[in-house]
């Protein structure tokens, strides 16, 4: 067993081209190679795929990877084949004859990894193969889908433990997810019936991501302005409705930006084509509905814009995390409006996240799922409204204590001017008004009463007679900010699902009876643009930069020629350019200037298979270039050049 574990570094370099593991990877790989079940929670971009792909190379037999996304399967299989690893997938995009051919090849032990959708686990033909196969490991990707508390619960995932129980020998079971709260982690462990598992929860902090919440009056203009800042970069815009997708794409195209839509209103062929155009760098922007996660592994996404507030923090962090997968600085901007909350509630009540399963769920379970969805939506709304550190909010949500203290230096709340203001009197007014209003009412009616509104509800319910009527001169926005602060900090509890009403908690007595003072952060210039220089200070300190080529001061002309060569090779093979080599590998070539195959193997991301296939072409280009130009090697280190 120890010999197998010792081989992990050899396999890491041979197939994946890296000389060292990233944080947490070695710990997970060692556990799996020791035949111990494992649950790993690793944020998007942390390199979770290698944690199960590498052990699959060392195990005798095949590894079955259960994945819910066709696009993700396709993307990972292409990347594995580029590394010289034999792998395949089975899903509904293939014909019956293609699927039979793949199963026959699997029976002949031609594959080391086989990706399957959860719906396939109880199909007779596949189950017959699996019962007789030498399955070394079953990997459950996107494991949060098995939990009713997860943001993407899929009933088909409940088939997994039943499937495993039918195998002739119980394999190692490894489960991976990018976003899972403590409650979801416990659900995964119980539902998958993991045996004495190794549990690894990697840090959730993506230090290279810049977080920002904006409340623009014209979202289309704001999206356009944000994208114009990145004329040569690639980005994703997420929208909650098909209508929004179409509007945004039309606006971008009118302004000369190469963009394409992605939503369920298109055929599978159209969606695939638009996604492929984005993966192959034929367009700069893909505009997609939140409900249809793309499951892509594109490494050079420089920004993600959320046109609408997502349904929960889990979805937001996973979608935003598709930016900056190569470790370079990337921007995550959320455009918020009150209508987003209304739309989010409507979607919860009128749509199902489980349509793709084509499974019926009973009414009781459906209502339980909606209740949990509403709870997560409220947490997402609080994120959009908080004046505190956005990064700290996310980390605290996932149960990870933050050490950011005063200022993270990489979110709009921390970088915009702000001050700590005393809100004791205003808090007393709000809490006192709620206390006097009976029966309990919603947030809007409390604010209307405090501001002396003469609307029908205030007048009909007699709230104009209360001593708290018309005692506030603050704007609706100012009162709303303090109200939300009181909710977020446990003084007010919103009770009820579809139409929540205000209840005072025992903590409210600290303000009403004990006369405790209360203060909160308040943005001085809420519409102020982000000060880029404030980000630069922090990101240079962290060795995270927007452009690794600039960081290493590499030759621009050489880098351009390497990218052109990569594009030619990718086009000839019909694969995305980043699957040949990521930008970070090309930058490493500019640093090292390899002129032999052995030197080429030193480049980050170059394994034995890629060395054999590509060394001649790239070293020839570098040799020719350096013979006509004065270029020096650089050995400066400190920046992680890998996105494994």
pLDDT exceeds 90 at position 254: yes
Neighbours of 206 (CB within 10 A): 25
Q: Are residues 180 and 111 in the same domain?
A: yes
Q: Are residues 155 and 281 in the same domain?
A: no
**Higher pLDDT among residues 71 and 396, named by residue:** 396
Q: 536, exposed or middle or buried, with CB in 10 Å at 0-12, 13-18, 19+? A: middle
| Strand duo 492-495 + 501-504: pairing | antiparallel
Asked whether residue 536 is assigned to any structural domain, the reply reads no
End-to-end CA distance of the chain: 25
Angle between helices 313-320 and 363-385 (to 10 degrees): 60
The full DSSP string for 527-587 is TPPP-HHHHHHHHHHTT--S-HHHHHT--HHHHHHHHHHHHHHHHHHTS-HHHH--HHHHH
Q: Is 55 contained in some domain? A: yes
- Over residues 177-200, the pLDDT tens digits come to 988 888 889 999 999 999 999 999
633 in a domain, yes or no?
A: no
Number of domains composing the chain: 4
Rounded to 10 degrees, what is the CA torsion of 414, 419, 422, 427? -40
Q: Which residue has tokens 């005072």?
A: 504
The CATH number for 582's domain is: 1.10.150.80
- For the cut 50, the answer to whether the pLDDT of residue 89 exceeds it is yes
Does 240 have pLDDT greater than 60?
yes
| Two tokens, residue 377 | 């939506």
User: Per the domain annotation, does 637 fall within a domain?
Assistant: no
- pLDDT attached to residue 178: 84
Domain-terminating residue out of 138, 167, 201: 201
Higher pLDDT, 640 or 60: 60
Q: Could you tell me if 102 and 192 lie in one domain?
A: yes
User: Are residue 256 and residue 329 in the same domain, yes or no?
Assistant: yes
The pLDDT value given to residue 406: 60
Domain with 430 in it: what CATH number?
1.10.10.10
What's the CATH number where 263 sits?
3.40.50.300
Structural domain span for residue 130 = 2-201
Are 470 and 497 members of one domain? yes
Q: In the predicted model, what is the mean pLDDT of the chain?
A: 86
The pLDDT, as a whole number, for residue 637 is: 46
Judged against a pLDDT cut of 70, whether residue 96 lies above it is answered with yes
Residue 152 within any structural domain of the chain: yes
pLDDT surpasses 60 at 43: yes
* Dist. CA 581–CA 566, nearest whole Å: 7
How far, in Å, CA of 190 to CA of 188, rounded? 5
What DSSP string describes 238-300? EESSHHHHHHHHHHHHHTT--EEEESTTS-HHHHHHHHHHHHTTSSSEEEEETTS------TT
Tell whether the model's pLDDT for residue 528 goes beyond 70.
Answer: no
Q: Distance (Å, rounded) from C-alpha 496 to C-alpha 503?
A: 10
Residue 397 and residue 439 in one domain: no
Structure token digits, residue 53: 């792909």
330 and 271, same structural domain? Answer: yes
Q: How confident is the model at residue 357 (pLDDT cuts 50, 70, 90)?
A: very low
pLDDT of residue 638: 40
pLDDT tens digits along 371-388: 888 889 989 999 998 888
**Whole-prediction pTM value?**
0.72
pLDDT tier at 58, thresholds 50, 70, 90: very high
**Tokens coding 142:** 């996107």
* Confidence category of residue 535, pLDDT binned at 50, 70, 90: very low
Q: Six-digit token pair at 343?
A: 């739309």
* Phi, psi of 635, rounded to the nearest 5 degrees: -115, 10
Query: Is residue 97 domain-shared with residue 51, that is, in the same domain?
Result: yes
Residue-level pLDDT at 325 = 84
- Paired tokens of 19: 């000389």
pLDDT tier for residue 636 given thresholds of 50, 70 and 90:
low
Q: Which of 473, 489, 523 is the last residue of a domain?
A: 523
217 and 296 assigned to the same domain: yes
Q: What is the CA radius of gyration of the chain?
A: 27
Helix (H) or strand (E) segment spanning residue 407:
none
Task: Assess if residue 620 is contained within a domain.
Answer: yes
Cα dihedral 164, 169, 170, 173 in deg (nearest 10): -80
Give 304-348 pLDDT, tens digit per residue.
999 999 999 988 998 998 898 877 889 999 999 888 888 888 888
Residue 313: what pLDDT? 93
Is the pLDDT confidence value at 389 over 70? yes
Beta bridge partners of 62: 135
Regarding whether 166 and 88 lie in a shared domain, the answer is yes
| Diameter over CA atoms, the chain | 88
Q: What is the pLDDT of residues 576-597, one digit of tens each?
A: 898 899 888 998 999 899 999 9
Structural domain includes residue 539: no
Q: Of residues 341 and 297, which shows the higher confidence score? A: 341
Percent of the chain, pLDDT > 90?
54
Closest CA to 397 of 383, 414, 386: 383
Q: Tokens representing 291?
A: 């409900």
Same domain, 225 and 306: yes
SS3 assignment, position 461:
coil
Which of these ranges, 104-118, 454-468, 484-498, has the smallest mean pLDDT? 484-498
Residues 184 and 240 in one domain: no
150 neighbors 76 (Cβ within 8 angstroms) = no
């Amino acid at each position: 067993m120890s010999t197998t574990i010792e081989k992990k570094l050899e396999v890491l370099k041979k197939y994946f081209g890296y000389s060292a593991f990233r944080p947490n990877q070695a710990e997970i790989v060692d556990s799996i190679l020791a035949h111990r079940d494992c649950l790993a929670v690793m944020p998007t971009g942390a390199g979770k795929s290698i944690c199960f792909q590498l052990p699959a190379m060392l195990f005798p037999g095949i590894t079955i990877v259960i994945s819910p996304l066709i696009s993700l399967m396709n993307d990972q299989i292409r990347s594995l084949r580029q590394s010289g690893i034999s792998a395949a997938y089975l899903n509904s995009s293939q014909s019956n004859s293609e699927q039979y051919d793949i199963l026959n090849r699997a029976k002949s032990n031609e594959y080391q990894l086989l990706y399957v959708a959860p719906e396939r686990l109880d199909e007779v033909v596949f189950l017959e193969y699996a019962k007789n196969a030498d399955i070394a490991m079953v990997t459950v990707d996107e494991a949060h889908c098995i939990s009713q508390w997860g943001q993407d619960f899929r009933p088909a995932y409940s088939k997994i433990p039943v499937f495993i129980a039918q195998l002739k020998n119980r394999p190692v079971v490894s489960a991976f997810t990018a976003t899972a709260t403590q409650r979801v982690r416990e659900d995964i462990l119980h539902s998958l019936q993991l045996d004495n598992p190794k549990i690894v929860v990697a840090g959730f902090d993506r230090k290279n991501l810049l977080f920002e919440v904006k409340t623009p009056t014209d979202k289309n203009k704001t999206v356009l302005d944000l994208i114009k800042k990145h004329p040569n970069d690639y980005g994703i815009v997420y929208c909650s409705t098909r209508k929004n997708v179409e509007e945004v794409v039309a606006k971008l195209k009118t302004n000369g930006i190469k963009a394409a839509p992605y939503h369920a209103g298109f055929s599978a062929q159209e969606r695939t084509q638009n996604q492929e155009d984005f993966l192959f760098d034929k367009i700069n922007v893909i505009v997609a509905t939140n409900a249809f996660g793309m499951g892509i592994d594109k490494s050079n996404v420089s920004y993600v814009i959320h046109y609408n507030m997502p349904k929960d923090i889990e979805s937001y962090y996973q979608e935003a995390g598709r930016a900056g997968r190569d470790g370079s600085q990337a921007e995550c901007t959320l455009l918020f409006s009150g209508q987003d909350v209304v739309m989010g509630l409507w979607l919860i009540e009128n749509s199902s996240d489980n349509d793709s399963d084509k499974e019926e769920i009973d009414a009781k379970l459906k209502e339980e799922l909606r209740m949990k969805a509403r709870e997560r939506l409220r947490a997402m709304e609080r994120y959009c409204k908080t004046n505190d550190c956005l990064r700290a909010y996310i980390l605290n949500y996932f149960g990870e204590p933050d050490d950011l203290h005063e200022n993270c230096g990489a979110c709009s709340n921390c970088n915009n001017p702000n001050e700590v203001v005393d809100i004791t009197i205003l808090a007393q007014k709000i809490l006192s008004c709620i206390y006097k209003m009976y029966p309990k009412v919603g947030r809007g009616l409390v604010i209307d009463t405090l501001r002396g509104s003469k609307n029908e509800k205030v007048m009909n319910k007699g709230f104009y007679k209360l001593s708290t009527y018309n005692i506030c001169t603050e704007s609706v926005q100012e009162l709303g900010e303090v109200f939300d602060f009181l909710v977020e900090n446990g003084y007010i509890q919103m009770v009820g699902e579809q139409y929540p009403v205000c209840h005072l908690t025992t903590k409210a007595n600290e303000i009403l009876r004990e006369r405790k003072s209360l203060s909160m952060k308040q943005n001085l210039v809420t519409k102020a643009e982000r000060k880029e220089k404030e980000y630069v200070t922090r990101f240079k300190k962290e060795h995270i930069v927007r452009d690794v080529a600039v960081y290493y001061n590499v030759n621009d002309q050489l880098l351009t020629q390497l990218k052109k060569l990569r594009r030619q090779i990718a086009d000839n093979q019909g694969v995305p350019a980043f699957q040949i080599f990521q930008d970070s590998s090309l930058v490493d070539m500019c640093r090292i200037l390899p002129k032999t195959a052995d030197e080429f193997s030193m480049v980050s991301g170059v394994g034995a298979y890629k060395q054999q296939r590509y060394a001649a072409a790239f070293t020839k280009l570098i040799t020719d270039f350096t013979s006509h130009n004065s270029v020096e090697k650089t050995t400066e280190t400190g920046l992680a050049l890998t996105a494994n």
